[in-house]
Every structure is written in C-alpha cells, then in structure tokens.
Amino acid sequence: MTQNATKTITVLGATGSVGLSTLDLVRRAPEEFRVVALTANSRVQELAALAKEFRPAVAVIGRQDKYPELKDALAGTGIECAAGDEALACAAAMTADIVMAAIVGAAGLAPTLAAVRTGTTVALANKECLVCAGDLMMQEVSKHGARLLPVDSEHNAIFQVFDVNHTNTVKRLVLTASGGPFLRRNSATFSTIKPSEAVAHPNWDMGAKISVDSATMMNKGLEVIEAFHLFPVEKDQIDILIHPQSVIHSMVEYIDGSTLAQLGSPDMRVPIASCLAWPDRMQTPARRLDLAAIGSLTFERPDYEKFKCMALAKAALNIGGAAPAVLNAANEVAVAAFLSEQIAFTDIPEIVEQTLHKCDMKEPHSLPNVIEIDVEARRVAVSQIAQLK
C-alpha cells in the first residue's frame, strides 16, 4: 500500500486455504496490518502456531472439545482463548478495519453476519453465506453501512471493472470457469471418480470442499448466485464461459459493446490483496502474467448436461425462496459424503436434486429461519444418501 496507516484485521477461517493466503500477505507487510482475532474449527495446533506468530488479542476454536488443547498451547502468551459458535461470532464482531470471512460452508453465515452488523469492511470469501441467505445478508449490509469486498476471484474481477456509477450501462456479467479437472473426461466414467482425483484442481490450490465443487462445477453455479447478490444485475444477465487457463478471472460487458476484464495468474493472493488494500493496492508475490509465454487463451460454452450441478444451481436461483439454501445444504452433505467415500461422484447432483424436490421452498424471513431450512435440508439429504445403499 502506498499509505502507511496500520489496518486492523480479523481472519475467520485462518487455517484454511484463503485464511493462510491472507496471513501470508499480512506476514509480508507487518507494518501495514495488526491482527485482532484468528479463528479455526478443529486444527488447534495450526491455530496456536498462527496466534503465536501474529499475536492477535483472541484466538477462537469452533469445536468446544478442543478448548483445553488451545488453552494449553497458548498458555503464557497473553492471547485470550475461546471456543464454540458464540465465541466465533464474538470474535467476528470485535472492532477491526477489515474482517476476512473465510470459513467454508453455511457454518460461516452467523460469524460473517456478526461482522457485517458492526458496519465494518468484510472481505467475503465465504460464498455459501450469500447462497443461503443472500437477500438477508445484503439487507444487513445496507442497514449497518458495512462494505462487502468480494474475495472470490471472479467476483473480485467483476468488482474491479464494474462501473458502479453507471450500472444501467452494464449489459451482462461473464463469469469465467476453468471447467475443473474433469472438463475433458468422458462423463460415462464419472461414477468411478475418486476423491483424490476430484480435489486435484488443474489451476487453483484450494480447500477440499470448494475443490470438489469445482470438479462438479457446482462452484460456478454457486458463483452465479453469489454474483446475483453482489451486483445490481438481473438473473439472466449472468453468463458462464469456460476458459481453461484461468487467466481472465471474469468480465463485464457494457451496452456499447465494450467488454472489460481483469487478468492475472491464478493465485488467490491477488484478489485477497485487492480486498486488503482497497481502495489502494499492495505488493504480492504472485507470479506476473506472461501472456507471450501462455501464448493463447481459449474459451468454450459450458455443458449443463455433463455438469448437472451447474444447472441445478441456476434452477435454484430462478426458483428463489429457500431453494438456494436447500441446494447449498444438500451439496455440503453430498460433498462430505463423497469425500468420505460413502457416495459416488455422480450421486452428488442426484442428492442435491432429490433434496430440492423434497424440501419446502418458502422464502426465509430471518437468520434463524435460514438455519432451520439448512438443518432440515441436511436431514433430507442424509436420508436420501441412506436410501442409495
């Protein structure tokens, strides 16, 4: 950053892929950031090591049973320790200039909302919270004067090239998608895909859940829903374009035929840095883009038959009401079951579709109501999995 004012930062999901990339940038700019709170779910030793390095006021572990281990690990450091859901929300609500919301899944909803309600700047990686409670979340953002900065690379790209002062000149958003590891694989063999193959993304190094979502392309469907909530466009103004090199991170097309894009090497530290330094910019160690070495960029249309999850997510957005929350919950259950080898890769869209058919689609009216919908959809998804056997 060009200015030298220290920013205070909280990282929710500090031990994850986005959390660690965020802290890597903080580590490289020690004068520019001071860490307020760090949270994790179960990896106590990793959290404790990060806390010792970054010296937050508070370290919180989601799992209550891990509290003694955390307290032990941080004994004598003066860092306050806490555990459980309430403690996560309290950490999220501590005064900080920026809160990085990088918990995976609907578990991130309550802490992210707690941060939003302080009216601060929230760097949002946790796309699932917009998928399951987008309207409520955006209402809270405007009610509390908070600012959401999109971390997801596509949304960050759009944020960088979206003309907020002339929104009526935007014709459409083009979300680029690498296509994941199975873009070229014959779908007849999809049922034999192993978790280790699904988490091996060709371009990005990410957590297990989002890697599987990229393999099923549910991730791109979730991102369409995310984009719908983040930007003032209609549902039919958001398109998906396959771009296997992941160099163009997304585009905005304007009414005059101009299309603006953001490009960069596939390294999450670029969009994260854009949020951390916003509205300024900061240095990152990301590999510079060498377009001559890359040679060519290619594009193709998405295949909704082959990647049914993408179609299901778009359908859930069009149905509206509780459908996106149900879709998200069923997907989280199905992905976890796939990762633990209880179901096949091809069962993921089946479980999501059956759960969508069986759940009530009434619009959630409050956060507790979203959580009820989420819990019920998970119950239905689990029962659908049981019936597969």
Interface with ligand NAD (CB under 6 A): 13-19, 40-41, 43, 62, 88, 102-104, 107, 125-128, 152, 204, 206-207, 209-210, 268
Q: Which does 58 bind (CB under 5 to 8 A by kind): Mg ion, ligand NAD, none?
A: none
CB of 256 to ligand NAD, least distance (A): 31
Cβ distance to Mg ion smaller for residue 36 or 217: 217
Q: At what angle do helices 323-339 and 218-230 cross, to 10 degrees?
A: 150
* Interstrand relation of 170-177 and 248-254 (parallel, antiparallel or unpaired): antiparallel
Query: Using CA atoms, how far apart are residues 152 and 126, in angstroms rounded to an integer?
Result: 8
CB of 221 to Mg ion, least distance (A): 11
What residue is closest to ligand NAD based on CB? 16
CB of 240 to Mg ion, least distance (A): 12
Q: Which does 66 bind (CB under 5 to 8 A by kind): Mg ion, ligand NAD, none?
A: none
Cβ distance to ligand NAD smaller for residue 107 or 116: 107
CB of 219 to Mg ion, least distance (A): 6
**How is the beta sheet containing 248-254 ordered, strand by strand?**
238-242, 170-177, 248-254, 259-263
Binders of Mg ion in range 61-120 (CB under 5 A): none
CB of 5 to ligand NAD, least distance (A): 27
Encoded amino acid at 192, one letter: T
Q: Which does 264 bind (CB under 5 to 8 A by kind): ligand NAD, Mg ion, none?
A: none
Question: CA gyration radius for the chain?
Answer: 20
Cβ distance to ligand NAD smaller for residue 210 or 322: 210
What residue is closest to Mg ion based on CB? 152
**Token couple for 242:** 């396959």
Q: Are 357 and 312 in contact (CB under 8 A)?
A: no
Binders of Mg ion in range 145-204 (CB under 5 A): 152-154
CB of 32 to ligand NAD, least distance (A): 22
Query: Using CA atoms, how far apart are residues 180 and 214, in angstroms rounded to an integer?
Result: 5
Q: What are phi and psi of 253, to 5 degrees?
A: -100, 135
**Token couple for 112:** 């992210």
Query: Using CA atoms, how far apart are residues 213 and 128, in angstroms rounded to an integer?
Result: 12
CB of 46 to ligand NAD, least distance (A): 8
Cβ distance to ligand NAD smaller for residue 16 or 264: 16
Mask 126-155, x = binds Mg ion (CB under 5 A)? Answer: --------------------------xxx-
Query: Using CA atoms, how far apart are residues 361 and 357, in angstroms rounded to an integer?
Result: 9
Cβ distance to Mg ion smaller for residue 152 or 347: 152
CB of 39 to ligand NAD, least distance (A): 6
Cβ distance to Mg ion smaller for residue 126 or 153: 153
**How is the beta sheet containing 7-12 ordered, strand by strand?**
80-83, 58-61, 33-40, 7-12, 98-101, 121-124, 147-150
Q: Which does 100 bind (CB under 5 to 8 A by kind): ligand NAD, Mg ion, none?
A: none
Cβ distance to ligand NAD smaller for residue 210 or 385: 210
Cβ distance to ligand NAD smaller for residue 60 or 385: 60
CB of 224 to Mg ion, least distance (A): 11
Cβ distance to ligand NAD smaller for residue 217 or 354: 217
Query: Using CA atoms, how far apart are residues 345 and 148, in angstroms rounded to an integer?
Result: 34
Specify burial of residue 328 (Cβ count, 10 A radius: 0-12, 13-18, 19+).
buried
The dihedral over CA atoms of 138, 32, 161, 292, expressed in degrees to the nearest 10, equals -140
Q: Are 92 and 99 in contact (CB under 8 A)?
A: yes
Where on the chain is the footprint of Mg ion (CB under 5 A)?
152-154
